[in-house]
Amino acid sequence: MTMAGIVTSRHLLLWLLFGAAMLALPQFVSNGTIRIIIFANFLAIFAMSWDFLSGKTGYVSFGHPFLIGIGAYASAILSYRFHVPLEFSIPLAVLATLVGGTLFFLPALRIKGTYFALVTLAFMELMYQLIQVVRPDLTGGTRGMSGIKTVLTGAAPNFYLSFMLMFVIAFSLWLLSRTRLGTALDAIAMNEEAVSGSGLSTTRLKLFAFMVSATVAGIGGAFYVHYLGSIAPRALFDINFVFTIIVSALIGGASTIVGPMIGAFFMTFLLEYLRPVLPGSERYFVYGMIALVLYVYKPKGILAILADLRDGMRAQGTGRAQRGKAS
Amino acid sequence: MLRIEELYAYYGMAQSLHGVSLSLAEGDIAGIIGPNGAGKSTLMDAIMGLVRTQGSIKLDGHEIRGLSPADLVKSGIGYAPERAHLFPYMSVRDNLLVGAYTARADIERNLELVHDLFPVLRERWAQETATQSGGERQMVSLGRALMTSPRILLVDEPTIGLAPRICSAIAEALLRLNRETGLTILIAEQNVNFAMELARHVHVLETGRIAVEGPAQQLRSDPELAKAYFGH
C-alpha cells in the first residue's frame, strides 16, 4: 500500500497550515476559549473513532462510550487504585479497550443495520449498570472517582497535548482512509456483498476498522480521564454523549475523517455558546434542529458546504479570467 | 474446468435449484438461459458461495463449494453480478481498484485490458458511478470482475435494461476477451438472442432444473426447441 499519488503537496500544506494555526491559537484567545477547544479536541477524537468504524463501513455504533469507557476506567483504576504511572496505565488502557472491545463487538459485527446499532447500545447500557455494581471499590460505583492524576496542568499545556493527540490521530486516519484499504472500507458501506464478490474478506476488513476505531477510542478515553481528573458513569455512559459524538460526525461529513473533526468543533462551540441562553438540556433540542435542517438540505455535512463554496469561488475565478481574456 | 454436480440451492427455507449439473471446459463460453425465476442468478450466486448449497462444485478437480466468496475469487472466479452492484458514490477508478485487491501484481495489465475493452471508462475515470448510464455501469461491473485476474468469468444478465447498441458492445467485448485471452465465460441471460450469439453451449434452466442443454447451434436448428424456448 503506497502513499504515492494519494497525498499531494497541497494536502500536506493544508494540514501544516491547520497545525500551525492551531498551535498559535493560545497566543490570541482567552483561557476560557482554550478550555472549550480542549473539549472540542477530545470530541473530535471520539467522533473520528466513530467515523472510522461507522461512517466508513456503515455499521452504526450507538455504543461508542462503551469503548471510551474501557479506556477511561482502565487507566483511572490503574493509576488511582494501583498507583501505576501514567506512561504505563495509558498504553495498558488502550490495550484493554482493544481486547475488551473486540470480545464484545466482534460477534456483533456479524449482524447488520438496526440490530447492530441496538446491540452496541445494549453494550453501553450494560457497561453503565455493571460499572456501578461490580467492584465499586475499584470503579467508585455510582459516584465514580475524583482526584485522578492529570497528565499536565493548566489550560495551554493541556491544549497542546490534546491538540497534538487529535492532530496525529486525524492525520493518520486521513492517510489510512486514502489507501486502498480505506477505499475498501468505504465500499462495505455501499455494498458489502459486492465487496465480498470482489474477493475481499469483509470480516477482516470490519475487524480492522473496529480495531483502529477501538484504539483511537481507548487513547481518547484514557487521555480524557487524565485531563478531567475525575470520572463518573452517568456522564460517560449517557445517551446525550453518544448523540453528540454521532451528530458531530454526521454534521461534519461522515466517512471523511476531516468532517467529524469540523463537526466536533462546531458542536462544542454551539453547545457552549448556547449554555448562557439555554442552560439545561434544551440545548440538545437546538442542535437536533440544526442537525435535522443540515441533513435535509446538505446530507454530506459541513465539509460538503465548504467544498461547494470552494468550487463556487474557483468557478467565479475562472469566469473572471475568461471575461478578462475576451475583453 | 468447472464441474457442477447435483447442485441444490436454498434461500432460507425455499429451495431454488433442484439438482443442477453442468460442466464448462477451459476457454469455452456457456450460456444459462431461462425465464424470470428460473434460477439463473441463484446458480451464479451458488457458484460464488453467496447462498446455501448442497452438491458439488469442482474447479480443476478441486471441490470449491463451501469456500468463501473471497477465496473463490482468489482461486480464479470473477463475478459481474446482475444490475452491476457497483459502489455508487465512488469513482470508476475506485470501483475498479476494489476489484484489484486480490490481484495487486496485475493492476497495470488488467487496467490496460479494461480500458482497451471499454475506452469510455478511461474518459470517465473520475466520475462517480451513480451518475453513469446503465451501459457504462455494466462496463464498470465487468471491468471490476476483470481486475481480479479471473480464469472463469461469471456474468449475470449483462444486458438487462440496456439499449441494443450497448448490448452489442458488451457482446463484442466478451467475445474479444474469450478470443484474445482464452477466458472461460459463463453467462446467465434472459435475452436469448444475446446468449445464443455468444455461447457455444447452452443450458436452459426451468424452475431450478436444467430442462435442455446442448451446443447452441444444435438447439437453434431444432425447430421444436427453437419454438418452445427461443421464440422463433
Q: What is the ipTM of this complex?
A: 0.82
B184-189 vs B152-156, strand pairing mode: parallel
Closest partner residue to A187 (CB to CB) among B87, B100, B145 is B87
Q: What pLDDT, on the 0 to 100 scale, is given for residue B17?
A: 94
Local structure of residue B163 (DSSP, 8 states): -
How many domains in chain A? 1
Cell numbers at A225, concatenated: 480521564
Q: Is B167 a residue whose pLDDT tops 60?
A: yes
Closest partner residue to A180 (CB to CB) among B69, B85, B101 is B101
Residue A18 lies in a domain: yes
Q: What pLDDT, on the 0 to 100 scale, is given for residue B52?
A: 93
Q: Which band of pLDDT confidence, cut at 50, 70 and 90, is reported for residue A218?
A: very high
| 3-state class (DSSP) for residue B158 | coil
Residue A62 lies in a domain: yes
Tell if the CB–CB gap between B85 and A193 is shorter than 8 Å.
yes
Residues 6 or more apart whose Cβ sits within 8 Å of residue A173: A48, A51, A52, A212, A216, A257
Contact B96/B171 with Cβ under 8 angstroms?
Answer: no
B107: contact with A, CB 8 A cutoff: no
Cell numbers 450507538 correspond to what residue? A62
Q: What pLDDT, on the 0 to 100 scale, is given for residue A292?
A: 86
Query: Helices (DSSP H) in B75-229: which residue ranges?
Result: 92-99, 107-117, 119-123, 134-146, 164-181, 192-198, 216-221, 223-229
B50: contact with A, CB 8 A cutoff: yes
Q: Is B230 a residue whose pLDDT tops 70?
A: no
Q: What pLDDT, on the 0 to 100 scale, is given for residue A282?
A: 80
- Total-model pTM: 0.86
Of residues A152 and B103, more confidently modeled: A152
Q: Which band of pLDDT confidence, cut at 50, 70 and 90, is reported for residue A5?
A: low
Q: Please name which of B86, B101, B187 lies closest in space to residue B148, comparing C-alpha atoms.
A: B101
Tell if the CB–CB gap between B81 and A184 is shorter than 8 Å.
no
A256 chain-B contacts, CB cut-off 8 A: none
Tell me: the pLDDT tens digits for A10-43? Answer: 999 999 999 999 999 999 999 999 999 999 999 9
Contact A149/A226 with Cβ under 8 angstroms?
Answer: yes
Nearest chain A alpha carbon to B71: A199
Closest partner residue to B88 (CB to CB) among A180, A190, A197 is A190
Q: What is the mean predicted confidence (pLDDT) over B108-114?
A: 94
Task: Look at the domain B2-229 and name its fold.
Answer: Rossmann fold (3.40.50)
Q: What pLDDT, on the 0 to 100 scale, is given for residue B223?
A: 76
Of residues B99 and B231, more confidently modeled: B99
The CA distance from B190 to B209, in Å, is: 16
Residue A15 lies in a domain: yes
Cell numbers at B44, concatenated: 451464479
Tell if the CB–CB gap between A199 and B144 is shorter than 8 Å.
no
Cell numbers at B185, concatenated: 465465460
Q: What is the mean predicted confidence (pLDDT) over A234-242?
A: 90
B102 chain-A contacts, CB cut-off 8 A: 198-200
Contact B132/B105 with Cβ under 8 angstroms?
Answer: no
- CA A166-A170-A172 angle, to 5 degrees, is 120
Q: What is the 3-state secondary structure (H, E, C) of chain A?
A: CCCCCCCCHHHHHHHHHHHHHHHHHHHCCCHHHHHHHHHHHHHHHHHHHHHHHHHHHCCCCCCHHHHHHHHHHHHHHHHHCCCCCHHHHHHHHHHHHHHHHHHHHHHHCCCCHHHHHHHHHHHHHHHHHHHHHCCHHHHCHHHCEECCCCCCCCHHHHHHHHHHHHHHHHHHHHHHHCCHHHHHHHHHHHCHHHHHHCCCCHHHHHHHHHHHHHHHHHHHHHHHHHHHCEECHHHHCCHHHHHHHHHHHHHHCCCCCHHHHHHHHHHHHHHHHHCCCCCCCCHHHHHHHHHHHHHHHCCCCHHHHHHHHHHHHHHHHHHHHHHHHHC
Residue A280 lies in a domain: no
Tell me: the pLDDT tens digits for A97-123? Answer: 999 988 888 888 888 888 999 999 999
Environment class of A292 (CB within 10 Å of its CB; exposed 0-12, middle 13-18, buried 19+): exposed
The CA distance from A299 to A202, in Å, is: 26
What percentage of chain A exceeds 90 in pLDDT? 68
Closest partner residue to B70 (CB to CB) among A183, A191, A200 is A200
A185: contact with B, CB 8 A cutoff: no
Residue A310 lies in a domain: no
Q: Which of A128-137, A282-291, B196-205 has the lowest mean pLDDT?
A: A282-291
A201: contact with B, CB 8 A cutoff: yes
The CA distance from B162 to A190, in Å, is: 23
Angle at which helix A239-252 crosses helix A302-326, to 10 degrees, equals: 20
Residue A1 lies in a domain: no
The CA distance from A113 to A43, in Å, is: 25
Residue A20 lies in a domain: yes
Q: Please name which of A210, A190, A308, A298 lies closest in space to residue A250, comparing C-alpha atoms.
A: A298
Q: What pLDDT, on the 0 to 100 scale, is given for residue A327?
A: 67
Tell me: the pLDDT tens digits for A54-98? Answer: 999 999 999 899 999 999 999 999 999 999 999 999 999 999 999
Tell if the CB–CB gap between A198 and B101 is shorter than 8 Å.
yes
Q: Enumerate the domain spans of chain B.
A: 2-229
B69: contact with A, CB 8 A cutoff: yes
The domain in which residue A225 lies consists of 9-238
Of residues B53 and A300, more confidently modeled: B53
CA end-to-end span of chain A, whole Å? 49
| 3-state class (DSSP) for residue B63 | strand
Q: What pLDDT, on the 0 to 100 scale, is given for residue A108?
A: 85
Tell if the CB–CB gap between A183 and B90 is shorter than 8 Å.
yes
pLDDT, mean over chain A = 91
Q: What is the mean predicted confidence (pLDDT) over B155-181?
A: 90
Residue A160 lies in a domain: yes
What percentage of chain A exceeds 70 in pLDDT? 98
Q: What pLDDT, on the 0 to 100 scale, is given for residue B148?
A: 93
Local structure of residue B106 (DSSP, 8 states): G
Residues 6 or more apart whose Cβ sits within 8 Å of residue A148: A76, A79, A80, A225, A226, A228, A229, A230, A231
pLDDT, mean over chain B = 90
Contact A270/A262 with Cβ under 8 angstroms?
Answer: no
Q: Is A2 a residue whose pLDDT tops 60?
A: no
